Amino acid sequence: MVKRKAGRPPLRDGTGVIDAEHEQARVRKFTADKLELEVKRRRSELLLAEGVSSTWNLMLSNFRARVLQLPNKLLPLIQASTSYAEAEQVFKAGVNECLTELADCDPDTIARLDNDYAETQED
């Protein structure tokens, strides 16, 4: 029997005695779980939260920039329109162009950017 170290909570029965088999099983489970997560990450089945967050921040900032450019880009075209329908079509096309940027979000690109992010964090 091994006595528990100071500061560690007692296991199972509250006696303060560490069950070696139980501890080894916990370590094996932890190792297996960690390996499973790493395999899923490498297969892009699991993404790092920080990588996803930075990717979405980049995508949303690009979207925001496009939306903020709409007035300068569309106003001359709308003013040159000869009818309300033509002006509406110009406006809708500009908005759809912005929305397409978000719709074109490719999961493979996010996974690649996530892997790139993970590699920079490991260095």
Assess whether 36 and 92 both reside in one domain.
Answer: no
How far is 10 from 17, CA to CA, in rounded Å?
7
What is the predicted pLDDT for the residue at 21?
85
16 lies in which domain range? 2-42
Same domain, 22 and 63: no
Highest mean pLDDT among 2-6, 47-51, 116-120: 47-51
Give the Cα-Cα-Cα angle 107, 46, 101 (nearest 5 degrees): 20
pLDDT given at position 110: 66
pLDDT tens column, 36-76:
988 888 887 887 788 778 778 888 888 899 999 999 999 99
Does residue 62 share a domain with residue 94?
yes
Q: Residue 35 pLDDT more than 70?
A: yes
Among candidates 33, 32, 5, 2, which has minimal Cα distance to 20?
2
Question: Whole-number mean pLDDT of the chain?
Answer: 80
Instruction: Say what the pLDDT of residue 102 is.
Output: 80
Q: Provide mean pLDDT across the span 23-42.
A: 91
Do 57 and 115 have their domain in common?
Answer: yes
Q: Are 85 and 108 members of one domain?
A: yes
Q: Are residues 36 and 67 in the same domain?
A: no
pLDDT at 115 exceeding the cut of 80: no
Q: Are residues 34 and 61 in the same domain?
A: no
Total domains in the chain come to 2
In terms of domains, do 61 and 116 share one?
Answer: yes
